[in-house]
């Protein structure tokens, strides 16, 4: 079986680097030595393990992507860029016929999905690529549909902490807000407590110093009106490796869907977990 060609966009960003390094040594994939990058990046190349990645700046991507497609024919793009680039990148992928896995959070997610559905390509879009966390979200989705108003009368606090460089509020925390709304708790995404200060993260949260530059800690606390009952759900991730396997599994899943002729389809990580 031929390896799946992948182009990881967002290098030299940390998450893009980690995914690219894993794809480089995974026999299922062939890493294309190109990456879309942001306007703030001043270099044109980035050394990644044994290969050099050519960085493509926004003003050059229209021209250079044609040459890349001619050279590699077909490939799947993995997007770990910046929240502000989510929608414009999706439009670019759809316009140029590039199926993609969107690991970047942020942007207008409704427009993002509609862009894909109006196109000729499929994509995997998810606010979180960690399979275990996605499974937890699936459980919450089931509860929200099966037990509406289960927690009616409870108050909710959502706290999330990520590395200082993460610009937006956690997409996972936003998704969880909707599930809690469905089980009877009014709570807005704007109420989410977002921590990005390394000193507070280490001293108040207890996040290990070596993971201050790469972590995702989430706590969801529910308290009854009379304060006699307290539920708490926690998922704390140190490092980035847990997201990589889910991302690469999403690429494999998307490749199968492309072979089946999927077009204009939006798949989620729950679809990837189910494998259907």
Residue 88 and residue 96: Cα distance in Å, rounded?
A: 12
**pLDDT beyond 80 at 276:** no
Q: Which of 263, 54, 19 is nearest to 6 (CA)?
A: 19
Tokens standing for residue 219 = 């706590």
Confidence of residue 106 (pLDDT cuts 50, 70, 90): confident
Instruction: State what percent of residues in the chain have pLDDT above 90.
Output: 95
pLDDT of 14 reads 92
**pLDDT beyond 90 at 192:** yes
User: pLDDT of 227-237, one tens digit each?
Assistant: 999 999 999 99
Tell me which DSSP letter residue 2 carries: P
Q: What is the DSSP string of 191-219?
A: G-EEE--HHHIIIII---GGGTTSEEEEE
Q: Which residues are annotated as catalytic?
A: 162, 166
**Strand, coil or helix: 149:** coil
Domains, the chain: 4-125+241-274 (3.40.50.720), 131-238 (3.30.360.10)
pLDDT of 9 reads 98
CB 38 within 8 A of CB 58: yes
pTM: 0.86
Mean per-residue pLDDT for 213-238? 97
Give me the chain's average pLDDT, please: 96
Confidence of residue 275 (pLDDT cuts 50, 70, 90): confident
pLDDT of 73 reads 94
User: pLDDT of 64-90, one tens digit each?
Assistant: 999 999 999 999 999 999 999 999 999
Confidence of residue 167 (pLDDT cuts 50, 70, 90): confident
Name the H helices within 46-130.
61-72, 86-96, 109-117
Sign of CA pseudo-dihedral 248, 253, 255, 258: negative
**pLDDT beyond 80 at 58:** yes
Residue 2 φ then ψ, to 5°: -70, 145
pLDDT of 17 reads 97
**pLDDT beyond 90 at 165:** no
| CA-to-CA dists, residue 62 to 6, 69, 95, 201, angstroms | 18, 11, 10, 41
pLDDT of 64 reads 97
Judged on CB neighbours under 10 Å (0-12, 13-18, 19+), 136 is: middle
CB 270 within 8 A of CB 136: no
Report CA dihedral (82, 198, 247, 102) to the nearest 10 degrees.
-20
User: pLDDT of 31-55, one tens digit each?
Assistant: 999 999 999 999 999 999 999 999 9
Task: Give per-residue burial for 183-213: e unless 16+ CB within 10 Å, then b.
Answer: bbbebeeeebeebeeeeebeeebebeeebbe
**pLDDT beyond 80 at 103:** yes
């Amino acid at each position: 079986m031929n390896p799946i060609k992948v182009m990881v966009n967002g290098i030299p960003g940390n998450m893009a680097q980690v995914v690219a390094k894993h794809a480089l040594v995974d026999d299922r994939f062939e890493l294309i030595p190109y990456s879309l990058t942001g306007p703030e990046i001043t270099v044109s190349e980035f050394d990644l393990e044994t290969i050099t990645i050519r960085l493509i700046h926004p003003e050059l991507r229209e021209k250079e992507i044609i040459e890349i497609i001619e050279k590699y024919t077909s490939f799947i793009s993995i997007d770990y860029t910046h929240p502000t680039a989510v929608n414009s990148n999706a439009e670019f992928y759809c316009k140029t016929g590039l199926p993609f896995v969107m690991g970047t959070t942020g942007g207008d997610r409704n427009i993002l999905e509609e862009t894909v559905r109006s196109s000729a390509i499929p994509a995997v879009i998810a606010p979180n690529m960690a399979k275990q966390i996605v499974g937890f979200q699936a459980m919450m989705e089931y509860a929200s549909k099966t037990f509406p108003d289960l927690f009616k009368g409870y108050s909710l606090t959502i706290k999330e902490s990520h590395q200082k460089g993460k610009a937006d509020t956690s997409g996972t925390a936003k998704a969880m807000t909707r599930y809690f709304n469905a089980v009877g708790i009014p709570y807005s995404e704007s109420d989410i407590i977002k921590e990005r200060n390394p000193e507070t993260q280490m001293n108040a949260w207890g996040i290990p110093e070596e993971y201050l530059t790469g972590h995702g800690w989430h706590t969801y606390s529910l308290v009854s009106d009379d304060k006699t009952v307290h539920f708490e759900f926690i998922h704390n991730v140190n490092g980035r490796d847990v997201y990589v396997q889910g991302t690469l599994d999403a690429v494999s899943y998307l490749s199968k869907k492309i072979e089946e002729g999927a077009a204009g389809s939006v798949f989620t990580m729950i679809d990837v977990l189910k494998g259907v």
